[in-house]
Amino acid sequence: MPTNNREKPLSKHILNQDPHKTTEPREKVLEKAIGRQIRFLRRKQETTVADLSRETGLSIGMLSKIENGNTSPSLTTLQSLANALRVPITSFFKGFEETKVAVHTKSGEGVEIDRRGTRAGHQYNLLGHIGSNDSGVIVEPYFITLDKKSDVFPTFQHLGIETIYMIKGQVDYRHGNNVYPLKPGDSLFFDANAPHGPEILVELPAHYLSIISYPQN
């Protein structure tokens, strides 16, 4: 049984991210995204097209084409516009829609991975992986199978946050000085820098999800 040193139950006030909130609409065409952003910044600063023309040396007709996304401005032109509007050149690309990656892994197609736990009878199946991304976080989702009752299970210790979700079977799972009985439907969310791992295999076979997240370098 776990010791008395347990975390308090989740409360609503600590979860302030709205998962249903959408970000600002992003343009699918780079020229239109740049033009829309230049127009927005110009109007925000209450600058007329004529004023911007004098500042940059670009004709009013050319500025109109740029703002309407009808031409692809050179980097030199964008730098001139950035200087005139007193903004970094990267601000012009704010509305451009970047490709976002999704990984679909069908049943039984997870990649079996050799990790430290495999020496103790853990079968790790990696369910997907996305490398460098805008979130700054790497996430490793594993489907883990335990089916060798005689194995000795070491504790693990690594950087990041880990979530365990029990699907089948029952194990007593250690985290630091506490041991938590995990049955189907139970979950455990913890700092993975503390020693952790299955301590007693109560009912086998056991299947659970292990989702590890840590900062990308």
Q: Which residue has better confidence, 13 or 152?
A: 152
pLDDT band at 150 (very low <50, low <70, confident <90, very high): very low
Strand, coil or helix: what is 79? helix
Asked if 49 and 60 touch (Cβ cutoff 8 Å), the reply is yes
Structure tokens at 146: 């335990």
For the CA atoms of 147, 153, 159, 161, what is the dihedral angle to 10 degrees? 50
Q: Is residue 3 part of a domain?
A: no
**What's the predicted TM-score (pTM) here?**
0.60
pLDDT at position 124 is: 84
Higher pLDDT, 13 or 195: 195
Of 144, 180, 146, the residue nearest 3 (C-alpha):
180
| pLDDT mean across residues, the chain | 83
Residues of the domain holding 49: 30-93
CATH assignment at residue 89: 1.10.260.40
Tell me the CATH number at 165.
Answer: 2.60.120.10
Q: Are residues 78 and 121 in the same domain?
A: no
Q: What is the pLDDT of residues 80-91, one digit of tens each?
A: 999 999 998 888
Q: Is the pLDDT of residue 151 over 60?
A: yes
> Does residue 121 share a domain with residue 79?
no
Mark which of 38, 61, 93 sits at the end of a domain. Answer: 93
Distances (CA, A) of 105 to 32, 126, 143: 35, 9, 12
Residues 6 or more apart whose CB falls under 8 angstroms from that of 68 comprise 35
Which pLDDT score, from 0 to 100, does residue 23 have? 58
Residues 87 and 140 in one domain: no
Confidence of residue 110 (pLDDT cuts 50, 70, 90): confident
| Alpha-carbon gap, residue 124 to 118, rounded angstroms | 7
Structure tokens at 41: 């910044």
Shared-domain flag, residues 53 and 137? no
